[in-house]
């Protein structure tokens, strides 16, 4: 009799889960309280190996990377200071990281994507236009002001443009310890070895001289 009641309970639970309007999902938790990265070790699928617990110190969980403004004296007028696991060992296995981005007046964080993370933008100073494109080539954008937020879904091309009259600063928070970054212009025009010229001329419907002129503008700065 007890066995029959147990089977009935299993059936009811299965039906409830199958017909529920929503199910809450999340990443699995770390297997330990913390796993401070041993940056001398090789990376694995889920991050760096752990330092021995006896060698973990308070500063492993601290970073002052966000304190100072970055140098925006480059053609884009932008500087991003990243606190990812490679610079902040305490983030290892926790699925978190943060970047401070400084923008000069008119400065642009050019279109790029993060293949391993969604991004939550918090503007600390100025007015920043944040925009991203969906898979249907639809542009979503908004001018984000001090203490306002804007979210960019994982893997989508996005940009940040300073549209205010002075400097702008924002924090970008990620749900990955190492979100990665892909900038299409550099991925096309600044690769080693070089992208085949035929691929570029056919992609952009330009001749070789035009492509060569573009490549000179996207050398690493």
Residue pair 94/177 in contact by the 8 Å Cβ criterion:
yes
Q: Tokens 């035929």 appear where?
A: 198
State the DSSP code for 113: B
Exposed / middle / buried, residue 7 (Cβ in 10 Å: 0-12, 13-18, 19+): exposed
Distance separating alpha carbons of residues 194 and 114, to the nearest angstrom? 23
Residue 146 is labelled as binding a ligand: no
**Sequence-separated (6 or more) residues with CB below 8 Å from residue 64:** none
Chain Cα centroid distance, residue 79: 15
Task: List Cα–Cα distances, 94 to 33, 37, 97, 119, 213, in angstroms.
Answer: 10, 11, 9, 16, 44
CA proximity to 156, closest of 187, 120, 113, 118? 113
Tell whether residue 109 is among the known ligand binding residues. yes
Give the residue among 182, 196, 221, 108 at the shortest CA–CA distance from 211. Answer: 196
114 is in an annotated binding site: yes
Q: Is 119 assigned to a binding site?
A: yes
137 labelled ligand-binding: no
And the tokens for 109? 């964080």
Where do runs of H (alpha helix) occur along 24-177?
Answer: none
Count CB atoms within 10 A of the CB of residue 198. 10
| Known binding positions for oxalate | 109, 114, 119
| Known binding positions for Mn(2+) | 112, 114, 119, 158
| Known binding positions | 109, 112, 114, 119, 158
């Amino acid at each position: 009799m007890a066995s029959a009641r147990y089977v009935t309970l299993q059936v009811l639970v299965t039906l409830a889960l199958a017909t529920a309007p929503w199910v809450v999902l999340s990443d699995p938790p770390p297997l330990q309280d913390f796993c401070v990265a041993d940056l001398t070790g090789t990376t694995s699928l889920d991050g760096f190996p752990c330092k021995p617990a006896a060698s973990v110190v308070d500063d492993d969980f601290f970073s002052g990377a966000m304190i100072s403004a970055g140098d925006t004296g480059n053609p884009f007028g932008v500087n991003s200071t990243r606190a990812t696991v490679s610079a902040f060992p305490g983030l290892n296995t926790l699925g978190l990281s943060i970047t401070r981005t400084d923008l000069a007046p008119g400065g642009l964080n050019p279109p790029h994507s993060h293949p391993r993370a969604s991004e939550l933008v918090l503007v600390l100073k100025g007015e920043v236009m944040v925009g991203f494109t969906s898979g249907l080539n639809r542009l979503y954008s908004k001018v984000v002001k001090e203490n306002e937020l804007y979210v960019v879904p994982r893997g989508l091309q996005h940009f940040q443009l300073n549209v205010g009259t002075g400097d702008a600063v924002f924090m970008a928070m990620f749900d990955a310890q190492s979100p990665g970054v892909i900038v299409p212009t550099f991925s096309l025009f600044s690769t080693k070895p070089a992208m085949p010229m035929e691929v570029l001329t056919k992609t952009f419907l330009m001749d070789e001289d035009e492509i060569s002129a573009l490549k000179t503008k996207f050398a690493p700065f």
